[in-house]
Amino acid sequence: MSAESDDIASAVARIAPREKAEILAQALPYIRRFHGKTIVVKYGGNAMTDPALQQDFAEDVVLLKLVGMNPVVVHGGGPQIEEALAKIGKKGTFIQGMRVTDDETMEVVEWVLAGQVQQDIVGLINVAGGKAVGLTGRDGGLIRARKMKMLDLKDPTKEHDVGMVGEIESIDPSVVRALQEDQFIPVISPLGFGANNENYNINADIVAGKLAEVLKAEKLVMLTNIPGVLDKAGQLLTNLSAREIDDLFADGTISGGMLPKISSALEAARNGVHSVHVIDGRVPHVLLLEVLTDQAYGTMIRSH
């Protein structure tokens, strides 16, 4: 047994038997309710870069699969892409929360997302006892995309060219469903392909949201680097309706990198995903806590 498993065993041993029973009893109704249901998880932020949190995440995903749920992981890779670009002397630029992607940047994005990051996550889940399979938008014709036309938020007559950034034309989930039925855990890189076989970099939040809609997911859970959606005073907003979110967009409370995230979350909620949660990926085992307990760990987004 490794020192790490000894630590886990002794931490578990320190929980009194009555508390253990209470924790398991609290999880039971959620296990029953979500059995056989798809849960799409957008994996990003600190949870992806901190080794202890990486392991927690992998264990959480495996446990959800073992109790009969169908987790699907969509990952980002912002910090890793920045690091790789820095090595070749490039600095990433963003417009309205989207990475500007020229040809050279696209090569780096593909190598980092479909190579390094995806394979790290697949490895972590497999070591934790799951059976993960990495996919990109090309596999099984999963994500068809076209070049994104990005209109300026303040002046809609003005258009920004963000390079090889794609918007989703269609998602064919048959490859994901086939893997789920064979007890695999799909791990998806947010890369799509166009009509002329060109590659597109797609925002991972947008892919997670759209995939949750197409798979008719029970839940969409987005891990972030903040406690959830915050108001202007920095207080956590635990429950938001579509109208309240529109107000937060309008007054600039939600801006930058949170724009695509919350827009995707809202769209998924409006298009049939039962519950959408933006949660704090810096909390150990936050995915399990969100899915299997009645404690709120972030912001829940409702369609009305």
pLDDT in tens, the chain (304 residues): 455 445 545 544 555 677 767 777 889 999 999 999 999 999 987 788 889 999 999 999 999 999 999 999 999 998 899 999 999 999 888 888 778 899 999 999 999 999 999 999 999 999 999 999 999 999 999 999 999 988 888 888 899 889 999 999 999 999 999 999 999 999 999 999 999 999 999 999 999 999 999 999 999 999 988 888 888 888 888 888 888 888 888 888 887 778 888 888 889 989 989 999 999 999 899 999 899 988 778 888 887 7
Beta carbons within 8 Å of 15's beta carbon, 6+ residues apart: 23
Cα–Cα dist 67/44, whole Å: 24
Cα–Cα dist 253/233, whole Å: 10
Q: 36-301, which class in CATH?
A: alpha beta
Cα–Cα dist 45/16, whole Å: 33
Beta carbons within 8 Å of 214's beta carbon, 6+ residues apart: 171, 173
Residue 196 structure tokens: 């002329």
Q: Is 77 annotated as a binding residue?
A: yes
Place of tokens 């987790």: 71
The CA-to-CA distance between both ends of the chain, in Å, stands at 50
Amino acid at residue number 91? K
Cα–Cα dist 94/100, whole Å: 6
Q: Which of 255, 205, 98, 203 is nearest to 161 (CA)?
A: 98
**How deeply is 148 buried, as exposed, middle or buried, from its count of CB atoms within 10 A (0-12, 13-18, 19+)?**
buried
Beta carbons within 8 Å of 141's beta carbon, 6+ residues apart: 172, 175
Q: Is 271 annotated as a binding residue?
A: no
The structure's pTM equals: 0.89
Cα–Cα dist 127/55, whole Å: 9
